[in-house]
Chain A
Amino acid sequence: AQSVSQHNHHVILSEAASLELGCNYSYGGTVNLFWYVQYPGQHLQLLLKYFSGDPLVKGIKGFEAEFIKSKFSFNLRKPSVQWSDTAEYFCAEEAGGYSTLTFGKGTMLLVSP
């Protein structure tokens, strides 16, 4: 069975600090990767996705993620966080297409003003 590991359950940063959230996936074949965000009281939204091509993908609100196949990693980054980035972030993989998403346990990010 596929699994997704997110390294940190809770991260606390000050505004303007740089962010990197770790994500490792398990599937060894063709894989689609996603980052979702859940702001307080809101539904899950897609931040960005990787299917193929350029391993550095850019998403909404200044987020980006890098797919490193050799490390089975898909880390999320943002150069400078804002208070409004406070949310829970979920990494997910889809193995081989026409499959279902397997989610990590999530990372709660708190940005202090």
Chain B
Amino acid sequence: DGGITQSPKYLFRKEGQNVTLSCEQNLNHDAMYWYRQDPGQGLRLIYYSQIVNDFQKGDIAEGYSVSREKKESFPLTVTSAQKNPTAFYLCASSELGNNYGYTFGSGTRLTVV
């Protein structure tokens, strides 16, 4: 079945450490996105990429970094510069033009202690 795989589902890290969240899709979608979901805040866009080797900052990119070396992969690194990293992170993908909406992964819950 086609879809988006995020791993791991739960992640615990110590404060000050960088951590990388994985996102892989086999839908052949050109565009991929990272959102952060916090209670009562909805989904806020961190980074997105519409083509390999290119990506754009979203609304809350500070403290995060991404890469897009392959069409099917869009990993997100939460750096030590992110002040409130504990959150639920959602990866999504879509065809360019977004006529069918986004397909979302099941998310990674990151807890920094």
Contacts and interface: CB of A to CB of B under 8 A. Distances in A.
The answer to whether A binds B is: yes
Interface of A: 1, 4, 6, 9, 32, 34, 36, 42-46, 49, 51, 90, 92, 94, 97-106
A32 B97 CA distance: 10
B41 interface: yes
A45 B100 CA distance: 12
B20 to A, nearest CB: 20
Interface string B84-104: 000000101000111111101
B48 to A, nearest CB: 6
A97 B98 CA distance: 7
B97 A90 contact: no
Given A98-B96, A100-B58, A105 B40 contact: yes
Contacts of B43: 90, 92, 103
A98 B106 CA distance: 24
Nearest to B90: A44
In this complex, the interface size class of chain B, counting residues with CB under 8 Å from chain A, is 20 to 34
Nearest to B102: A101
Contacts of B44: 103
A101 B93 CA distance: 11
19 contacts: A6-B42, A34-B101, A36-B101, A36-B104, A43-B90, A43-B107, A44-B92, A46-B100, A90-B42, A92-B43, A94-B98, A98-B96, A100-B33, A101-B33, A101-B102, A103-B43, A103-B44, A104-B42, A105-B42
Select the residue from A100, A104, A106 with max chain B CB neighbours within 10 A: A100
Contacts of B33: 100-101
A4 B45 CA distance: 13
B83 to A, nearest CB: 21
Contacts of A90: 42-43
Contacts of A46: 100-102
Select the residue from A34, A45, A105 with max chain B CB neighbours within 10 A: A105
